[in-house]
Amino acid sequence: MLTYVARRIIQAIPVVFLIAVVSFFLMQQAPGGPQLAFNQNHHITTAQIDSWLKSWCLERDPGVVGTIREFAGWLGVWNCTGGGLLSAHGLPNFLPAALGGGTNGLLHGDFGFSIASGQPVLSEILNRVPATLILMGVSWVIWVTMAILIGVLAAVKRYSVWDQATTFFSYIFYSLPTFWLGLILIFIFGVALRWFPVQGIVDTRAAPAPFATDAYWAALAKDPIPNLFDIGRHLVLPVITLVAVSIAADSRFVRSAMLDSLSQDYVRTARAKGAVERSVIFRHAFRNALLPILTNVALELAFLFSGAIVTETVFTWPGMGRLYFDAVNARDYFLVMGILFIGSILVVIMNLVADVLYAWADPRIRY
Amino acid sequence: MTSRDDPAPPGSTVFVTGQGTMPVDIAAPADVAAADVEVALESLGQWQLAWRRFKRHRMALFGLAFLAFAVLVAIIGPIVWPYDPLIIPGVSGTNPGGDSPSLAHLMGTDNNGRDVLQMVVNGARISMTIGITSMLIAGFVGITVGTLAGYFGGWVDNVLMRVVDTFFAIPLLFVILVAAAFFGEGKVISLVLIFGLLSWPLIARLIRAQFLSLREVDFVEAARAVGVSDLRIAFRDILPNAIGPIIVAMTLIMANNIILEAFVSYLNFGISADQISWGNALAQSQNYLVFGNWWWAFFPGIAIALTVIAINFIGDGLRDALDPRTRL
C-alpha cells in the first residue's frame, strides 16, 4: 500500500507541474499585466513601474525566455534579486535555504505576494477560505445527504412515480444556469418577500467586525448564537442554489450504484435465506453501494476549496471563487498561481484518498 | 446495464425472432402486435430501430420539438420581430429597471428600453450558433484524436492522453482572455473555438475507451486478416460501432456550452455588449432587481433553461435509442 501511495504521488508531480506551466504561460499571454493598475496614476513614471515590476520578478513585455524566467522565479529555481540560477551564497537557487539555496519561490514554501493588496498570497487565501468552506461545506453536506436519500429510494422503488419524478426534476435542475437560479431566488425571497438577505456572509451593519478578522472570531466565540444565526440567514439562498444544481448528478450516481448493488448475487442470496426486505436493502445492498458513492463524494471534497465563482459572484460571497475571479481580472499573477496550484494539489490528493479509501473499504481490491 | 438504465415500460415483453430481439407490446391488441412483428421482420435498419426507440421517449420528443422551435426562432425570429436590438429608446415608464411586460413589449424592456423579447429572439442566434458549432468542433477533434489514440495505442495513445489530461485542467478564464487578444474582445468566433477546443477531450476519452474494447473483437480481426488498412478499419469498422455514446456526449456538450456562454457573459468575459446573446441579455439585470423588474432576468434565463432541458432530454432519449441493448 505504501509503495502504491508513493508511486501515485511521484506520478502526480509531472501532472501538477504541467498544469502550473500551462496556467502560467496562458496567464502571461493574456493582454495587460499587473502594471495596468497604475494607468490611473499620472504621477508615476515608467522607471518606477519597471523597478516595481522587477521587485516582483516580472518583466513588462516578456518574450518566451522572459516568461520562462518569470516562471522559474515563481518556482524558486531563478533568483530574482540577481544571480540567475545561483542563490546569494553562490549555490544552485533551488536548494533548500538551509543548504545555501535561495529563499524565493514555491520550492522554498513561498507563494509570493498578492500584487493588488501587498499581502502574502497564503494569508490572502486563508482570509477567504472560511467563507468558502462554510458555504461549500454546508451545501455539500446537504446535497450529499439528500442525494443518497433520493437515489436509494429511487433505486429501491424503480420505475415508481417517485423514481420518475426525481429523474424528471434532476434533469430540470441540472439544466438550470446557476446564476439565473440565484437571480430568481434573490428576486423572490430577497426583493419581493424580503425573507433572506441577498448578499455577503454577515450583515455589515450588525456584525461586530468585518468577517474573518481576528476581532470577528473573538466576537463569534464570545457571542455565538446571534452571529451564527446571522451567517445562517445569509447562507440560505446561496446554499439552495448550489444544492439544486449539484444534487442531480449525485442522486443519479447513487441510484445507479444502488441498482447495481441490488442486482448482485449476494442480494439474491440474502433474499433467498429469508432476510427481511429492510435488512436486505440497508445491510446488504446499501453498504456495498456505499463504496462507489464514498469515492465519488471524496472527489467532490477537493473542489470545495476552490469555491463556486458564479454563486459567489451572484451573492457577493467573500470566498475563494470570488478571490480567484478578482485576481484574474487584476492580473494578480502570484495570487492566481497560488490558488490554481493549491487547487490542483488538492485534486491530486483527493483522487489518491478516494482510491485508497476504496481499497481500504473493499477487501477484494489489493495493491 | 446502461448508465441511465433502460426505461422498459412495464407491460412490454420481448419476442425473439431470427434477427435478434424484436419487441412486442403485449398490452396492445393482438392484431397491432402482429403488424409490429411483420414490420420488424422486414429488417429495420439500425437507424430506423433507433428512431422507433426514440419515439417511445416522450420527454425526448418534447425536447426535439422545442429545439426545432428554438432553431426556427433563431433563424427567422430577428427578421419577424419588429425591434432593432441596437436602438436604445429609453424607458417610457417610471421604473429605471425597464417597463413591465405589456402588449407592445410582451416580455417587458430592460433599463435602456430595449425589448426583452427581441433580446431573447436575437440571443437565440448567438447561443444556438455557439452551442451547435462548438459541439461540431468538439466532435470532429474528439473523434479524430480518440480514434487515433484508441486504434494505434502504444506511444501515440500515451502522448495523446497526456494532452487530454492537460486540456481538462486548463483554466477557462485565461483562455478567454488570451483569445480576446487574438480575435478582439467578446467575439462569437473566439467563444466557439474555445468551447469547442475545451470540450473535445471528453469525446476523445469516450472513443478511446470504446476502441480498447472493440479492438480485439472478431469482425475487426477478420477485417485485418483480409488486409484492410489500419485507418480504414478505424474509421469504417470500429467508429460506427462506437457512435452511440459519442452522439449522447455531443448533446451534453452542446447543452453545457450554451450554459457556459451564459456563465462567462454574466461574468463579463463573454459576448461583448454590442451583440445579444442569452447570457449578456440578462447579465446586467441583477443591478435592477431591487426595482422589481423580474422580467428582464426571467425571460432570457428561462430561454436558456428550456433549451438546455430540451437538449438534455434529447440526449437521454438518444442514450436509450442508440444503445442496441435497450429493448423497445
Residue A356 has pLDDT above 70, yes or no: yes
Parallel/antiparallel/unpaired status of strands B20-25 and B12-17: antiparallel
Q: Name the packing angle between helices B188-214 and B243-266 (round to 10°).
A: 150
What pLDDT was estimated at residue B138? 92
Determine, for residues B305 and A23 on separate chains, whether the beta-carbon distance falls below 8 Å.
Answer: no
**Confidence band for B327, pLDDT divided at 50, 70 and 90:** low
Query: Which ipTM value was assigned to this complex?
Result: 0.80
Please give the average per-residue pLDDT across A50-62, as a whole number: 74
Picking from A192, A256, A314, the nearest residue to B3 by CB comes out as A256
CA A310 centroid distance within chain:
13
User: Are B266 and A313 inside 8 Å of each other by CB?
Assistant: yes
Determine the average pLDDT of the residues in B225-250.
Answer: 81
B217-230 pLDDT, tens digit per residue, is 788 888 888 888 87
By CB neighbour count within 10 A (0-12 exposed, 13-18 middle, 19+ buried), where does A350 fall?
Answer: buried
**Distance from C-alpha of A335 to C-alpha of A123, rounded to nearest angstrom:** 10
- What's the pTM value of the predicted model, to 2 decimals? 0.81
With CB atoms and an 8 Å threshold, state whether B178 touches A30.
yes
Average pLDDT score over chain A: 83
Q: With an 8 Å Cβ cutoff, are A187 and B312 in contact?
A: no
Interface of B to A at Cβ within 8 Å reads 1, 3-5, 7, 10, 59, 162, 165-166, 169-171, 173-175, 177-178, 180-181, 255, 259, 262-263, 266-267, 282, 285-286, 289-290, 292, 294, 297-298, 301, 304-305, 308-309, 312-313, 316
Compute the average pLDDT of residues B296-321.
Answer: 88
Q: Is residue A93's pLDDT more than 80?
A: no
CA distance linking residue B158 with residue A242, whole number of Å? 37
Answer whether B292 sits within 8 Å of A325, measured CB to CB.
no
Residue A266: strand, helix, or coil = helix
**At which residue does the C-alpha cell 502570484 appear?**
A334
Q: What is the dihedral of CA A223, A227, A228, A229, to 10 degrees?
A: 120
Q: Please provide residue B277's backbone torsions phi and psi, each rounded to the nearest 5 degrees.
A: -125, 170
Rounded to a whole number of angstroms, the distance between the first and last alpha carbons of chain A is 6
pLDDT at residue A138 greater than cutoff 90:
yes
> For A263, which residue in chain B has the nearest alpha carbon?
B1
Q: What's the pLDDT tens digit per position in A103-121?
A: 777 887 788 888 777 788 8
Instruction: Tell me what the pLDDT averaged over chain B comes to.
Output: 76
Q: CA A314, A317, A318, A321 torsion: positive or negative?
A: negative
Where is mean pLDDT largest: A93-97, A330-334, B41-45? A330-334
The pLDDT tens digits of the residues spanning B46-104 come to: 777 788 888 888 888 899 999 999 889 888 877 777 777 777 776 666 766 677 777 77
Give the per-residue pLDDT at B242. 77
Give the pLDDT of residue B42. 52
Flag if A183 and B175 touch (Cβ within 8 Å): no
Interface probe for B, chosen from A11, A175, A332 (most Cβ of B below 10 Å), is A175
Q: How many CB pairs under 8 A join A and B?
A: 108
Share of chain A above pLDDT 90, in %: 8
What does the alpha-carbon distance between residue A293 and residue B211 come to, in Å, rounded to a whole number? 28
> Does B8 score more than 60 pLDDT?
no
Which residues does chain A have within 8 Å of residue B262's beta carbon, measured at their own beta carbons?
177, 179-180
CB-based contact, A193 to chain B, within 8 Å: no
